[in-house]
Amino acid sequence: MGFIGDTVESIRSIQIRQVLAQIISLGMIVTSALIIWKGLMVATGSESPVVVVLSGSMEPGFKRGDILFLHMSKDPIRTGEIVVFNVDGREIPIVHRVIKVHEREESAEVDILTKGDNNFGDDRLLYAHGQLWLHQHHIMGRAVGFLPYVGWVTIIMTEKPFIKYLLIGALGLLVITSKE
């Protein structure tokens, strides 16, 4: 009958109890992933404990597709640290190095200026209109480790959505046709 015929026959023979068991298993997998993510958020103190480098602005240190692990501590941010920050009006966080820190004595606030290692100038053009410095609330975390190239999976699925849908469809078919 062939692979396709066997797959169709397997889908037809599924009973309600099997479907419910598979839905519960899928729900447990999703719930486990969310619990792990929330646990990482608490452990690292960062709203996004893992990010993917999306551009070449930090080469040669970090390349496009590297995964960075973040940690947010109470320690003051210092020049030379690599931070991930969000800018008002932009959805995607940016990974760059701190090149200047200005501490205000009267308010204990800190102004931060960043730059990509592979960029010619500082990041003031990337900041929101009229913004010259980053502040503590813009910082999502400090880079404490990385895995090279592992983030390419995310980049490919974002840039080529049909691959993402193909993968989701294949995994869904696998879940539906599995016997256990």
Q: Where are the domains of the chain?
A: 50-148
Cis, peptide link before residue 60, omega less than 30° from 0: yes
Catalytic positions are 57, 96, 123
CATH of domain 50-148: 2.10.109.10
Provide the whole-model pTM.
0.75
Mean pLDDT, residues 148-159: 90
Q: Does residue 3 carry a pLDDT above 80?
A: no
pLDDT at residue 31, rounded to an integer: 95
**Cα–Cα distances in Å, from 90 out to 51, 72, 152, 170?**
15, 21, 22, 33
DSSP bridge pairs for 96: 83
What is the distance between the alpha carbons of residues 101 and 110, in angstroms, rounded to a whole number? 7
Q: In what order do the strands lie in the sheet with 139-147?
A: 50-52, 67-71, 139-147, 82-85, 94-103, 110-115
pLDDT at residue 21, rounded to an integer: 80
Q: Does residue 85 carry a pLDDT above 70?
A: yes
Mean pLDDT, residues 23-39: 90
Mean pLDDT, residues 43-70: 91
Torsion of CA 36, 42, 45, 49, to 10 degrees: 10
Give 74's pLDDT tier (boundaries 50, 70, 90). Answer: confident
Q: Does residue 125 carry a pLDDT above 70?
A: yes
Mean pLDDT, residues 149-178: 85
Mean pLDDT, residues 28-46: 92
pLDDT at residue 164, rounded to an integer: 86
What mean pLDDT value characterizes the chain?
86
Stated length of the chain = 180
Mean pLDDT, residues 62-74: 92
Structure tokens at 60: 């040669």
CB atoms within 10 A of CB 45: 13
